[in-house]
Every structure is written in C-alpha cells, then in structure tokens.
Amino acid sequence: MTEGCGDEGKSKCHASENEIIQNIRRDNDFRNETNRIKCERGNKNYCGESTAKILAFGITALIGGVAAETFILGGGAAAATDATLWGLQRASWRAGWALSDAAEGALAWLLNKVGQNSRAGQVLMATFDNIALHNPKSSTMVIGQFPNYVNAGKQNGYTYYQLPNIVYNALNRAGWSQTNNANAIINSVQTGRNILIDAPNYIGPGLQFELGILNNLRYPSQWLNGPP
C-alpha cells in the first residue's frame, strides 16, 4: 500500500501509478465484497447506491467503532449521522474558521487513527467518494483545471469530482487525498465512463497524477480542448 505518500502522492513515497492502481482495485474489490455480504445478510443499505446510508455507516463506524457499526448494520440512524456531518460543515461556516480548523484536525486525527488499510478506513474512502462524486449516473466524467471542469460538469450533466474544503484539508493532513482522487478515476474506469479532460491553461500536480493513471491504463479518454 502507499501509506505515507502524503498529499503529493508518489513523489514522496516513490509509489508508481501502477502500484496505486493495483491497490485501489484491491480496495474496491474488498469494499464491493463487503457490501455484497451485508446486502445478503439483509441490510438493504448495501444493496444499491445510498450515499447517505453509506456515509452514515462510514462515519459511525469510524467514530463509534464496532458497536456503532453493528448498530448501523442493523439499519437506521443514517439520516441522523448524515445530518451530523453536514451540520458540522454548516456550523463551521457560521461559527468561523476556528471551528473548521478544529473539525479538520479532529477528522485528520481519526483518519490517522483508523489507517487507510483498515476496514473503517476503506469504508471512509467509499464515503468520501460518495460525497465528492456529482452527477454519478452520467456515463461521462469530466476532470481538469478548476473551475473549467466543474462548470463543464454542471452545464452538461457530466460526473465530476469535488470534495468539501473541510474534508479535503483533513485528508491532506492525514496524507490520504492523492489516493482518494485516484480512487475516483479508477472507479470511473471500472464503470466504463467516458472521461473528458478540460484543462486549457494549466495542468497542476493533481491532474498530472490522474492523467498518468489514465495514460498508463490506456483508457480511452479525451481532451476537451482541441488544437486551435
């Protein structure tokens, strides 16, 4: 695994895009299998897409440990947990950034505590993907420079990826963010989405990493901005 890669990804830990791709695939397989078993055991939360409920499971599993996870597996409390996360975000905006800093610090501490390879860590990865992925049912995903790709996603209904500031900063502090963005790309590849790249002016380090993955996979992706 690529723990310790930090927010600059492979540059710090020397993991290759291929290693990260393999890790993510393994994680995804694990998550899918876990969810399938939960579904078979009667928890309908895991039988289909349910962002709020997966989110609830992730956060509660992280914070409350086994007891809370068991509670969630039994069903319920999803809305309450969902409200807690978003309530925290809203409260941060209202109360000023001191609270936001504290919330980020707390979340980063918890991320470090559970570790990226743990069961709760993997559920959290899925949770963050669910938060970050917009228009998830589209067959086309757009990535690229900000704000172009977000505008393209909104205007055309394409899938696009963006994390709330509070979560992104916490992920950065814990050194998880690079893998999380890569995870969204691999998920799109696995689901067969078309991938468009909208980057007419610059290509930052995060996008370079994602392009490296797509290029290495030889996945049929396309620049939106053709020659002038």
Stretch that binds another protein, among 26-34, 65-73, 184-192, 210-218 (CB under 8 A): 210-218
Stretch that binds another protein, among 52-60, 76-84, 115-123, 157-165 (CB under 8 A): 157-165
For residue 27, the number of C-alpha atoms closer than 13 Å in the C-beta half-sphere is 27
97-114 helix and 119-132 helix, angle to the nearest 10 degrees? 140
Stretch that binds another protein, among 19-27, 55-63, 66-74, 219-227 (CB under 8 A): 219-227
**Which pairs from 202-208 meet CB under 8 Å and 24+ separation?**
202/145, 203/145, 204/145, 205/8, 205/9, 206/178, 206/181, 207/143, 207/144, 207/145
Taking CB under 8 A as the criterion, the residue among 169, 179, 180, 183 binding another protein is 169
Taking CB under 8 A as the criterion, the residue among 32, 118, 139, 215 binding another protein is 215
> Closest approach of Cβ 212 to another protein, in Å?
8
Collect all residues with Cβ–Cβ distance below 8 Å to 149 and sequence separation of at least 6.
142, 143, 160, 197, 198, 199
Q: How far is CA 159 from CA 58, 142, 162, in A?
A: 22, 6, 10
> Closest approach of Cβ 224 to another protein, in Å?
8
**Can residue 202 be called a binding residue for another protein (CB under 8 A)?**
yes
**Can residue 100 be called a binding residue for another protein (CB under 8 A)?**
yes
**Can residue 168 be called a binding residue for another protein (CB under 8 A)?**
yes
Q: Are 53 and 81 in contact (CB under 8 A)?
A: no
Residue 39 carries which DSSP code?
H
In the shown chain, the binding pattern of residues 174 to 193 toward another protein, with x for contact by CB under 8 A and - for none, equals ---x---x------------
**Can residue 137 be called a binding residue for another protein (CB under 8 A)?**
no
> Closest approach of Cβ 120 to another protein, in Å?
24
**Can residue 206 be called a binding residue for another protein (CB under 8 A)?**
yes
Kindly report the three-state secondary structure assignment for every residue of 82-137: HHHHHHHHHHHHHHCHHHHHHHHHHHHHHHHHHCCCCHHHHHHHHHHHHHHEECCC
Q: Are 225 and 200 in contact (CB under 8 A)?
A: yes
> Closest approach of Cβ 63 to another protein, in Å?
23
Residue 145 carries which DSSP code?
S
Taking CB under 8 A as the criterion, the residue among 42, 105, 147, 157 binding another protein is 147
The binding site for another protein (CB under 8 A) comprises 7-8, 11, 93, 97, 100, 145-148, 150-151, 162-166, 168-169, 172, 177, 181, 197, 200-206, 208, 211-212, 214-215, 218-224, 226-228
